[in-house]
Every structure is written in C-alpha cells, then in structure tokens.
C-alpha cells in the first residue's frame, strides 16, 4: 500500500474565512456567501465563472451540492457535498486538491460551513443511522477525558502535572485567540479560571472543552505551475493524507488512549510526501484539533513534535507558545474559535495560508516556511484523521 504525492503539485491562491461566532442573524447561505466573496475578492480578474468545480463540506447544514450552488447562484457547475465527521472541511479540501491535480479541472474551490447555534442542540449536531446496538454510548467529553489518566499511567506523571499541562494548553490558545478578530472567544484566561471551571467529565472542566459556533471558510486551488498567474504569494500543498479508523479500538479491551493511530499514519504519509524527516525541527507552525486540552497533549507526540512521554513537559516549557520553537494553534484553535464542523478544517488551512504569506499581523511566526494542519473526527478508538503539510516554497 502506498500514499504518493499527486502527479501535479497543487497550490492555494486565495482563501476566505468568516468570523466564527454566534451568528444568530446569518444563515448557512449567508456565511458561505461571505467566505466565498472574501476568497474570490482577494484575486484580480477572477470570478466564480472561472472556477470549474466546487466542493462543500457540512455535517448538518445541507444535503447536496445545492448547499453551495443555491446561495452562489451557480449554473452548469459540478458541486459536490462531502461529510467526514469533524474532518469534513478538510475532506472538501482533499477532494478539490485531487480534482485539480488530476488535470480534470484548472481551478477549483473547497468550502465548508456549519450552523450550530440555532440547531436546537447544545453541542455538535449529528443524525446517526440505525446501528446494531454495539456502539459505545458516551459523550465527546467523556471519551476524550480518558486520554488524561491513560497518559499519566503510561508515563508516570501525576495528576497535578497533567493538570498543569492541560491548563497551559487552554491558557495558550485563549491568549492566541485574544489577538485574532475572527475568533469566537477573544479574551485571555488565567490558569485559575481554567482549573476552577465546572467539571464536565473526568478531569475535564468547561475550560478544557472547545465551544460551539457558526462559521464558513473557502479556498481556491490551482495546479502549482499556474499559481503565479493569480498571486505572487501562493501556498503549496506539499503533502496530505487521510485515514479512517476501523473503530476496533472501542470494541477491544486494552485500547491505548495515549495515541490516535489514525493521526500517526496520516502524519507519516503526509511527511513522506513533503520530504519532512524531522517534523520537530522542520515544521514552522501547526494548527491542530484541540477539541479538548488533553487532545493537544497527545497530538504533539502523534505528529512527531515531542518524544513519547515528553509532550506535557514541552508544553509547560513553552515549546508550543507563540515565541516557542514550534508555535501551535497561533490563531487560537478550537478553544478560541469553537467548532462549526464543516468549516474547522478549512479554518486551520486559512491560518496556515495567512502565516505562510506573512499576513498574520501580531500573530505572525517569523520566517514561517512549513505548516501542518491536522484535523480529527470521531472519538478515541474510532476516529478519522487528516494531516496536510503546506509551504510557501515549491
């Protein structure tokens, strides 16, 4: 089995992203239009007529390609709706990238959207098909809360040390979000606020959990050789991989809750395509799926940024701070943006795109050359994972 680079390299030439908010007065249609207008409007002499094909990712805000075709008034265009748990936005991007790399189209657009705040649900919304009754019936906080005690037991750290690392993740990401006017939560928080927040599941309090928001994002992709026709600062897709787990982890005793094997595989394949042999040293910044604070701890090791059993210490030492060796979630992550399912993956791409073009303002990572976007869906033991490596040099 092999996961290879595409025959034609792919470049992102434009992106758009709405603020992630409680958009009570905007529909999913409105959010898509706003994201697409920002995306297309950043290019000169490009209109929607120039885009050959479209993808839209959403879990519950639409059922077909008309989710995008209708608000954009597209005529005679192929529009595909995709869904892949919380990696839905990344799935739209992945399919669009393959389409333009294959030579089938010259210019494509990937979009993602979700309206959660007026869905009548207090958390993420999903309609599951009938099952055989063997599914594990737990909430997302309950499932992800198992990461912390498993990590402690595996590496011999006590609850106080794990709590400190989890708290640092929340404090860091909210501080980053406070500098981002697109974030849902734009206020720094103290360690005391995090640790005294109401308990949700296991060691997780409210401030260990990402929020619920509405949002949309969009990207225009072309083949790399054509990129400079549209912009003098394209961002290149250096490698990407997607893995869907079998779900066997939830059906067997002894599952290792200190790792997401789907992430490990996806990262290895994306790095191989990108020529990355030492991600801890070669990657300039990363956007990762910090749905819960212990998730980010585990992901630092699955992505090869920290050695096994060292992520908690590296986090406390500031390695992933904005001025650290490898800044993580410079835009604020899910902790500051919330998680509109169809848009999150593309929101991560948007931050990488902005950083690699040197346009991140007060959040700018100096000399950023390679960025990782990592998107996770599902739950420990049964998840899907996407990893992409983006760069500003071909």
Q: Which of these is catalytic: 23, 174, 289, 339?
A: 339
Element (H, E) at 222: strand 215-223
CB neighbour list of residue 389: distance below 8 Å, 6 or more residues apart: 237, 238, 239, 240, 270, 271, 273, 274, 276, 283, 370, 371, 372
Find the DSSP H helices in 73-158: 88-101, 140-145, 147-155
Could you give the CA distance from residue 259 to residue 251 in angstroms, rounded to a whole number? 16
238 phi, psi to nearest 5 deg = -90, -25
Find the DSSP H helices in the chain: 28-41, 66-72, 88-101, 140-145, 147-155, 159-177, 191-195, 261-274, 279-282, 293-302, 311-316, 333-337, 341-356
- Asked whether the beta carbons of 384 and 345 are under 8 A apart, the reply is no
Helix (H, G, I), strand (E, B) or coil at 43: coil
- Asked whether the beta carbons of 361 and 385 are under 8 A apart, the reply is no
CB neighbour list of residue 209: distance below 8 Å, 6 or more residues apart: 141, 200, 291, 292
Burial annotation 102-116 (CB, 10 A radius, 16+ → b, else e): eeebebbbbbbbbbb
75's tokens: 């005529």
Could you give the CA distance from residue 351 to residue 337 in angstroms, rounded to a whole number? 12
**Helix 147-155 × helix 293-302 angle, to 10°:** 50
Q: Which of these is catalytic: 17, 86, 209, 383?
A: 86
228 is catalytic: no
Q: Quick one: DSSP state of residue 251? A: T
Q: Cβ atoms within 10 A of the Cβ of 235, count?
A: 27
39 is catalytic: no
Q: What amino acid positions are annotated as catalytic residues? A: 86, 339
């Amino acid at each position: 089995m092999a996961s290879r680079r595409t025959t034609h390299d792919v470049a992102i030439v434009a992106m758009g992203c709405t603020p992630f908010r409680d958009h009570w007065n905007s529909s999913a249609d409105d959010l898509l239009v706003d994201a697409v207008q920002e995306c297309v409007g950043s290019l000169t002499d490009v209109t929607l007529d120039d885009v050959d094909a479209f993808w839209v990712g959403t879990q519950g805000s639409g059922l077909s390609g008309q989710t995008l075709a209708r608000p954009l008034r597209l005529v005679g265009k192929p529009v595909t709706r995709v869904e892949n748990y919380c990696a839905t936005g990344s799935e739209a991007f992945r399919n669009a990238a393959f389409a333009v790399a294959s030579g089938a189209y010259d210019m494509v657009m990937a979009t993602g959207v979700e309206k959660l705040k007026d869905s009548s649900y207090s958390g993420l919304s999903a309609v599951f098909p009938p099952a055989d009754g063997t599914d594990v019936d737990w909430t997302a906080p309950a499932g992800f809360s198992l990461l912390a005690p498993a990590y402690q037991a595996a590496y011999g750290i006590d609850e106080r040390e794990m709590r400190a690392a989890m708290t640092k993740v929340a404090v860091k990401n909210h501080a980053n979000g406070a500098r981002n006017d697109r974030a849902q939560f734009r206020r720094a928080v103290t360690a005391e606020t995090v640790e005294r927040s109401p308990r949700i599941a296991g060691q997780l309090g409210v401030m260990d959990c990402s929020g619920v928001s509405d949002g949309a994002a969009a990207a225009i992709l072309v083949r790399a050789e054509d990129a400079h026709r549209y912009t003098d600062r394209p961002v290149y897709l250096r490698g990407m991989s997607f893995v869907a787990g079998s779900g066997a982890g939830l059906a067997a005793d002894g599952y290792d809750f200190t790792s997401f094997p789907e992430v490990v595989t996806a990262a290895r394949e994306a790095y191989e395509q990108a020529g990355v042999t030492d991600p801890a040293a070669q990657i300039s910044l990363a956007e990762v799926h910090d749905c819960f604070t212990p998730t980010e701890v585990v992901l630092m090791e699955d992505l090869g940024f920290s050695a096994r059993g060292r992520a908690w210490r590296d986090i406390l030492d500031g390695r992933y701070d904005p001025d650290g060796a490898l800044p993580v979630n410079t835009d604020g992550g899910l902790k500051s943006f919330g998680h509109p399912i169809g848009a999150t993956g593309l929101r991560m791409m948007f931050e990488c795109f902005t950083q690699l073009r040197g346009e991140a303002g007060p959040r700018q990572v100096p000399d950023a050359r390679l960025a990782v976007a990592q998107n996770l869906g599902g739950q420990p033991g049964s998840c899907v994972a996407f990893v992409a490596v983006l760069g500003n040099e071909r």
